Amino acid sequence: MNSSKGEWGSNLGFLMAAVGSAVGLGNLWGFPYKMGMNGGFAFLLFYLILAVLVGFVIMLGELTIGRRTGRGVIAAYSMLSKKYAVLGWMAFLCPILILSFYCSLGGYCLKYALANLGDVFGAVWGVNGADATNYFINFYTNGFSASIFAVIFTIITVIIVMGGVSGGIERFSKIAMPALFVLLLVVIIKAVTLPGASAGLEFMFVPNWEVFKGFGWISVLATAGGQMFFSLSLGMGIIITYGSYLSKTENIEKNALIIPITDTIVALMAGLAVFPAVFAMGMEPAGGPGLLFITLQAVFDAMGAAGPMFGFFLYFLVFIAAITSSISLMEVVVSVLIDRKEEKGKIANRKQLSVFIGAILCVLTILISIDSLGEGSLPKLLGFCWLDFFDLLSEGIMMPVGALLMSLIIGWKLGPDWMREELCQEGNKWRFEKFAMFCFKYIAPIGMAMILLGQIDGFFKLGIFN
């Protein structure tokens, strides 16, 4: 353990931070929508099967690599073998690319939380009855305004990471995650008690077998696999980095089970908070930002006097979810820089490194904000808007490739003895060894290959905002 970078104060703190990294924007708006559009409960069943056969073992492998090496992603893979260092570099670049647009979208959430709060007090900076579609278009196409909120979101992320592992990330997560649960419960109670809310529950939970006709099940499987992989923060260096701060006394296998279970529960709660209200107000669900910033805002506008407070609660909890994910992404980068400093015999200053990375991210997120989801004046990158291009490189290619190769390395190169040596520290047992090794060798690589092909196909066919 390289304790100079810090260590979790408790296993609960680690779990709150790890779950916080998994519960993000895509989880809150993506999971319930994809579930509804891909067979309802049948999609959920596919998701859970893939979470067990692929998600659990990938998380188990990443946590083990992290704790065994005690290093950030580049040094961790290099310690396994110099030829694996490229996987570390991929996992290092992914968070930078993701944060560049994640901070921009996080700024959207902050803007909408404040706008709905403005409506509560009748302030001029509220939505003030503006058409939801026009309000969203006017905001994201205003590069200056969008950039301001993106930079504020980035600065908040930097301040938390500057506080360190236990004093910053863990302390914030132990407050933020329970707060998110409470806010979700408040919004769920309001949503499911609205007249006509049952249609939203049917959208999510009633099986729709029409989507499985012919080879439709393959599309559902690929969609469920992609959502599972990205929802759990796999392949982007977060789990390895967080694992490097784990005490040798903690049970890695147990944690690798708890995180996916909790993440799935939160995703379902998000659906219960969103879709009953959407259907109760007669709105049509739409994925991505359209759902979060247009459809839901229209729902709140239609609720009358209670709408603004309801809207503030929901956008504020999405903001919390976004922050818990952004700090985990930034910590991956900061951890690597601390490693590089210490390898050269220098003292690493976490605060200075956090500010340095934050400055780079401010520049990148301003560019993303100015691009205005492809409607700005910046040139296209291989035909994609800047956000889509960065997303394609990171989530579409590097993350699934990295996870696929990691599963093969553990399954066919390192083997069960290497895993057992770390998992069975301090009297802990590896209860699912045979199952996990079978998945590492065969199931996870096949699953990751399907996810990779499905992601690339989805990007080039539709783009994430179409």
Give percent of the chain above pLDDT 90.
Answer: 50
Confidence category of residue 454, pLDDT binned at 50, 70, 90: confident
Question: What one-character-per-residue DSSP string does 51-117 give?
Answer: IIIIIHHHHHHHHHHHHHH-S-HHHHHHHH-GGGHHHHHHHHHHHHHHHHHHHHHHHHHHHHHHHHH
Q: Identify the band that residue 43 occupies on the pLDDT scale cut at 50, 70 and 90.
A: confident
Q: What is the pLDDT of residue 3?
A: 47
Is pLDDT of 464 > 50?
no
pLDDT surpasses 60 at 192: yes
Residue 126 CB partners (closer than 8 Å, separation 6+): 115, 116, 117, 118, 119, 120, 308
Give me the chain's average pLDDT, please: 89
Task: Give the Cβ contact number of residue 175 at 10 Å.
Answer: 12
Domain assignment present for 466: no
Backbone angles phi, psi at 406, to 5 degrees: -65, -40
412 assigned to some structural domain: yes
Of 140, 176, 145, 156, the residue nearest 99 (C-alpha): 156
Cα separations (Å) of 5 from 270, 334, 343? 34, 10, 13
Residues in contact with 365: Cβ distance below 8 Å, sequence separation at least 6, in sequence order? 99, 100, 101, 103, 104, 107, 147, 150, 151, 153, 154
* Confidence at residue 305, expressed as pLDDT on a 0 to 100 scale: 84
Q: What is the 3-state secondary structure (H, E, C) of 344-404?
A: CCCCCCHHHHHHHHHHHHHHHHHHHHHHHHHCCCCCCECCECHHHHHHHHHHHHHHHHHHH
Q: How far apart are CA 112 and CA 446, in angstroms?
A: 41
The whole-number pLDDT of residue 25 equals 79
Within a domain: 369:
yes
User: Which tens digits make up the pLDDT trace of 409-441?
Assistant: 999 999 999 999 999 998 899 999 999 999 999
Residue 163: inside a domain, yes or no? yes
Reported as a pLDDT band with limits 50, 70 and 90, residue 142 is very high
pLDDT of residue 271: 85
Q: How confident is the model at residue 138 (pLDDT cuts 50, 70, 90)?
A: very high
Q: Which element (helix H / strand E) includes 35?
A: helix 25-37
Q: Are 127 and 117 in contact (CB under 8 A)?
A: no
CATH number at residue 456: 1.20.1740
Domain enclosing residue 298, as ranges: 3-461
Q: Is the pLDDT of residue 348 over 60?
A: yes
Residue with the larger pLDDT of the pair 147 and 1: 147
Structural domains counted in the chain = 1
Q: Which of 207-211, 238-242, 460-464 has the lowest mean pLDDT?
A: 460-464
Out of 24-28, 109-113, 209-213, the most confident range is 109-113
Please report, as a single letter, which amino acid is at residue 401.
V
